[in-house]
């Protein structure tokens, strides 16, 4: 015993030291939620209360070593949440949790960011519809939380705009290389938020601690949403025309919270908090985080407050497709926007010496064109020593890009482009084994064309059959009106057939698929002098099918609230032209950098900006509509068919019809959304009932609503009055046999926003294996704003093939023009699939 006691005491001492050390070490930034009703009366405002609370914690730690500074308050929040952000040690946090008014805390987390043709593609025109009726979104204020803005861009000129609306409460804040005088009647506000990221990453170095954009992302999204008219806009001759945003007369307010690829929740909340105070009408959030419970999700929490103030919030669905349960920003009070493609094709032309011309995907600039140069086939172009011997010729490479059919990384093409560029050859033709979706690969820094393998066969045949094969590369080229469009695209390198990220070549180059490549290989093999010409730029408009849903666009169902179908709709997100910052290269390949005032970018960030701009048009035309009514109008009038009048497809699963889990209600249609006939409305109380049904505690609900009085769970309800339907079939799987029929019932209420009396009848698009019934199947409205209710019943198997099936419910106006369509999804997907 004598030897045990000293050992025990020594162990206890070590544990105590370890515990104390853990409490005072490694301070982190926390977002703290406070109960404002608990603020003692002597304090003049919430800010002084928060400061005093933190000061008292410091006093309570007197004599305890700490690594935090005396003043560790980073932000105070008044609108988006009630609380503050502060840098706290574990011991300080522990003491804070015992303070009066403390509700909860969340460690600060990093988030990530998710044209000339798109207005026409969406049907916007000056003769009729959303543009003239809304006067182009005049005086609606769109706030964007993004990477900043380049105020000198022509897209933010204020020609044709009246004075700044008097209700505007924001300001233009000066900073590094950004004077408050740079704001005007278009860019009416600019603020920046960097305290959170500086606390989260003390080593970070800003070149521009101001609202000025150094990355391009915020400038691009702002110009899409509300850019003014800019004639002669293009990307080195591609997509040339007059650039303008969705709402050309709307005002722009930039809240910079994204810093060089790094951004944290505390800065984003501060930005949204201020945007609410400043009185924006629409918020565009092209950023997000991995799905988490709404009470821990900063965008969900902050946007709830915005919604309560009547602010419409659009948010990007994320770029983590094509897997299910990857959708971001899935809170039911948001419009969650996925991505679709355009009906525009940008390409280079390969003119073979035998007279055959083949179009290949490329964004090589016009000066990259090459004329009748020798063609050399180099296989997979992996031998850099042999490549270096080629000289001033056009190299043909054959490989793969993106992911294989199991979505496993398979990316030869990136290395091939790197090798060819480094060899200093004249240009390149890259033949791909898989697919036709080339967007992310097109911005070459040298003359190059991407082709599929079939196209490449013609080139190889020509090279092999000629003793002096030559070709001409011609740039730029463009087709408009490609069909079918829209489709859900395949972006980034996340899936098969996904070539989009490679197209911005820094040298003359094209990408072609295997079919195109066959003609090239046949030509090479059959010519003793194979030659080719590369021509840039080229464009086709009206290509079909369009839109399509890309692979990168995140899919539903929501991992947090699967009972509300997400995403809500798709908007153009591929090959989108928008303003860019002149200091950030549009193509950056080491020593080869290309700069331009406009850039072609892809992603749900771009789709979100389109939706935010359209929401501004609707807000201008219908200022009395709630955010939910605007969302409903956009969803129930969305197009489910592409420009071939067939179902929108997605570039996975053999390009089959897109599920609403990929495209929501369909492609955004601004003109139809202007006059939807009926809307599915909802308010904060409805959302709280949903949160209660999700078994959120009062404390958790209070984090979202900022008030205990709003956390009334006396009538919880999962069945939100939403303009879409999703039946989760597996909920009772533990107690029901596999062959059991499942019955799901949905209740909805629609509001007549048409003019006067109207009668609607229900039409159902059937779902294989399921019985659908609507009761009543006829709605008779006697006046505007009258509300009527109905029930939809779905009966079918507990498990469905491929995980989900879908149909539609349409309310069609008798003798009228309105068709109010909602998708219906039945899914047996599990969140661990």
pLDDT digits (tens, 9 = 90+) for 519-529: 888 999 999 99
Distance, in Å, from the CA atom of 770 to the CA atom of 792, rounded to the nearest integer, reads 12
Q: What is the pTM of this model?
A: 0.88
Secondary structure (DSSP) of 777-807? SEEEE-STT-EEEEEEEEEEESS-GGGEEEE
Residues of the domain holding 393: 344-481+491-532
Residue 812: is its pLDDT beyond 50? yes
pLDDT digits (tens, 9 = 90+) for 83-109: 999 999 999 999 999 999 999 998 988
For 76-96, the three-class secondary structure string (H helix, E strand, C coil) is: EECCCCCEEEEEECHHHHHHH
Co-location of 589 and 523 in the same domain: no
Co-location of 615 and 744 in the same domain: no
Co-location of 502 and 554 in the same domain: no
CA separation, residue 38 to residues 42, 96, 100 (Å): 12, 14, 7
In this prediction, residue 537 has a pLDDT band, given cuts at 50, 70 and 90, of confident
Half-sphere exposure of 468 (CA within 13 A, CB side): 2
Query: What is the pLDDT, as a whole number, of residue 417?
Result: 84
- Mean pLDDT over 333-340 rounds to 97
Task: Please state which of the ranges 57-71, 275-289, 776-790 shows the lowest mean pLDDT.
Answer: 57-71
In this prediction, residue 318 has a pLDDT band, given cuts at 50, 70 and 90, of very high
Query: What is the pLDDT, as a whole number, of residue 488?
Result: 42
- Mean pLDDT over 542-568 rounds to 92
Residue 13: is its pLDDT beyond 50? no
pLDDT digits (tens, 9 = 90+) for 362-381: 887 756 688 999 999 998 89
Catalytic residues: 146, 217, 605
Query: What is the pLDDT, as a whole number, of residue 538?
Result: 80
Distance, in Å, from the CA atom of 729 to the CA atom of 805, rounded to the nearest integer, reads 11
SS3 assignment, position 194: coil
Domain assignment of residue 687, yes or no = no
Total residues found in the chain within this entry: 833
Residue 491: is its pLDDT beyond 60? no
Q: Checking DSSP bridges between strand 230-235 and strand 238-243, what pairing results, if any?
A: antiparallel
SS3 assignment, position 659: coil
Co-location of 334 and 349 in the same domain: no
Co-location of 268 and 319 in the same domain: yes
Residue 125: is its pLDDT beyond 90? no
pLDDT > 70: percent of the chain: 85
pLDDT digits (tens, 9 = 90+) for 383-420: 999 999 999 999 998 876 555 554 444 567 778 888 88
Distance, in Å, from the CA atom of 88 to the CA atom of 25, rounded to the nearest integer, reads 10
SS3 assignment, position 175: strand
Domain assignment of residue 696, yes or no = no
Co-location of 221 and 333 in the same domain: yes
Query: What is the pLDDT, as a whole number, of residue 10?
Result: 45
Co-location of 90 and 164 in the same domain: no
Distance, in Å, from the CA atom of 15 to the CA atom of 21, rounded to the nearest integer, reads 10
Instruction: Report the sign of the C-alpha dihedral through residues 552, 558, 563, 568, in that order.
Output: negative
Q: How is residue 169 written in tokens?
A: 């409460």
Residue corresponding to tokens 């092999």: 464
Co-location of 172 and 211 in the same domain: yes
> What total number of domains does the chain contain?
4
Domain assignment of residue 692, yes or no = no
Residue 53: is its pLDDT beyond 60? yes
Co-location of 301 and 399 in the same domain: no
Co-location of 321 and 462 in the same domain: no
In this prediction, residue 77 has a pLDDT band, given cuts at 50, 70 and 90, of very high
Q: Checking DSSP bridges between strand 509-514 and strand 448-452, what pairing results, if any?
A: parallel
């Amino acid at each position: 015993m004598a030897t045990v006691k000293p050992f025990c005491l020594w162990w206890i001492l070590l544990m105590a030291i370890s515990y104390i050390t853990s409490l005072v070490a490694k301070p982190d930034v926390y977002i703290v939620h406070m109960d404002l009703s608990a603020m003692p009366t002597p304090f003049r405002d919430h800010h002084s209360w928060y400061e005093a609370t933190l000061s008292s914690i410091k006093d309570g730690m007197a004599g305890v070593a700490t690594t935090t500074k005396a003043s560790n308050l980073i932000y105070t929040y008044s609108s988006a949440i009630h609380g503050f952000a502060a840098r706290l040690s574990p011991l300080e946090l522990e003491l804070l949790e015992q303070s009066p008014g403390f509700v909860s805390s969340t460690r600060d987390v990093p988030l990530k960011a998710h044209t000339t043709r798109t207005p026409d593609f969406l049907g916007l025109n000056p003769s009729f519809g959303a543009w003239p009726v809304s006067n182009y979104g005049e005086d609606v204020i769109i706030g964007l939380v993004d990477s900043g803005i380049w105020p000198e861009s022509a897209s933010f000129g204020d020609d044709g705009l009246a004075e700044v609306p008097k209700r505007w409460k924001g300001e233009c804040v000066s900073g590094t290389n950004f004077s408050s005088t740079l704001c005007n009647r278009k860019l009416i506000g600019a603020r920046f938020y960097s305290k959170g990221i500086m606390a989260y990453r003390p080593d970070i170095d800003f070149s521009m601690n101001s609202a000025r954009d150094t990355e391009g992302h915020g400038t691009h999204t702002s110009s899409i949403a509300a850019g003014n008219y800019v004639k002669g806009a293009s990307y080195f001759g591609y997509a040339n025309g007059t650039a303008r945003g969705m709402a050309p007369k709307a005002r722009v307010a930039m809240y910079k919270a994204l810093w060089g690829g790094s951004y944290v929740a505390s800065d984003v909340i501060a930005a949204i908090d201020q945007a609410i105070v400043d009185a924006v009408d629409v918020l565009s959030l092209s950023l997000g985080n991995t799905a988490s419970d709404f009470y821990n999700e900063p965008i969900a929490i902050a946007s709830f407050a915005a919604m309560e103030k009547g602010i419409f919030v659009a948010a990007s669905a994320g770029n983590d497709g094509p897997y299910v349960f990857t959708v971001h920003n899935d809170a039911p009070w948001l419009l969650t926007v996925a991505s679709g493609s355009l009906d525009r094709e940008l390409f280079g032309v390969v003119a073979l010496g035998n007279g055959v011309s083949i179009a290949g995907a490329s964004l090589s600039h016009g000066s990259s064109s090459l004329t009748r140069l020798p063609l050399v086939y180099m296989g997979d172009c992996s031998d850099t020593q042999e490549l270096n011997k080629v000289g001033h010729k056009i190299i043909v490479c054959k490989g793969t890009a993106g992911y294989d059919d199991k979505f496993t990384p398979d990316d030869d093409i990136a290395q091939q482009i790197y090798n060819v560029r480094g060899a200093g050859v004249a240009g390149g033709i890259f033949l791909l084994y898989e697919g036709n979706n080339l967007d992310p690969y097109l911005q070459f820094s040298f003359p190059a064309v991407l082709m599929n393998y079939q196209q490449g066969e013609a080139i190889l045949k020509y090279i092999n059959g000629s003793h002096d094969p030559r070709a001409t590369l011609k740039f730029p080229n463009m087709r408009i009106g490609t069909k079918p469009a829209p489709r859900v695209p395949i972006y980034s390198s996340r899936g098969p057939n996904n070539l989009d990220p490679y197209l911005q070549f820094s040298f003359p180059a094209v990408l072609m698929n295997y079919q195109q490549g066959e003609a090239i290989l046949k030509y090479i093999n059959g010519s003793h002098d194979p030659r080719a010409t590369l021509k840039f730029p080229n464009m086709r408009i009206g290509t079909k099918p369009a839109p399509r849903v890309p692979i990168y666009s995140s899919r539903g169902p929501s991992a947090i609230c699967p009972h509300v179908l997400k995403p809500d709709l798709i908007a153009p997100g591929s090959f989108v032209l928008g303003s860019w910052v002149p200091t950030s290269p549009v193509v950056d390949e080491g020593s080869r950098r290309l700069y331009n005032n406009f850039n072609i970018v892809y992603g749900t960030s771009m789709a979100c900006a389109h939706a935010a701009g359209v929401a501004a048009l609707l807000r201008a035309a219908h200022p009395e509509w709630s955010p939910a009514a605007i969302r409903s109008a956009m969803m129930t009038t969305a197009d489910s068919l592409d420009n071939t009048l067939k179902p929108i497809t997605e570039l996975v699963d053999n390009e089959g019809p897109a599920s609403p889990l990929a495209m929501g209600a369909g492609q955004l249609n601004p003109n139809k959304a202007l006059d939807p006939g009926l809307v599915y409305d909802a308010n904060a109380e409805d959302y709280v009932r949903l949160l209660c049904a999700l078994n959120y505690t009062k404390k958790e609900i209070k984090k979202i609503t900022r008030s205990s009085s709003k956390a009334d769970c006396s009538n919880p309800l999962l069945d939100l009055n939403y303009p879409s339907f999703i039946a989760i079939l597996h909920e009772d799987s533990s107690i029901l046999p596999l062959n059991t029929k499942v019955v799901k019932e949905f209740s909805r209420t629609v509001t007549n926003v048409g003019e006067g009396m109207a009668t609607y009848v229900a039409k159902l698009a059937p779902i294989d294996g399921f019985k659908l019934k609507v009761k009543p199947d006829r709605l008779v409205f006697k006046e505007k704003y009258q509300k009527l209710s109905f029930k939809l019943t779905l009966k079918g198997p507990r498990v469905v093939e491929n995980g989900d099936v879908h149909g539609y419910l349409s309310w069609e106006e008798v003798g009228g023009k309105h068709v109010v369509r909602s998708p219906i999804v039945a899914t047996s997907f599990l969140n661990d699939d």
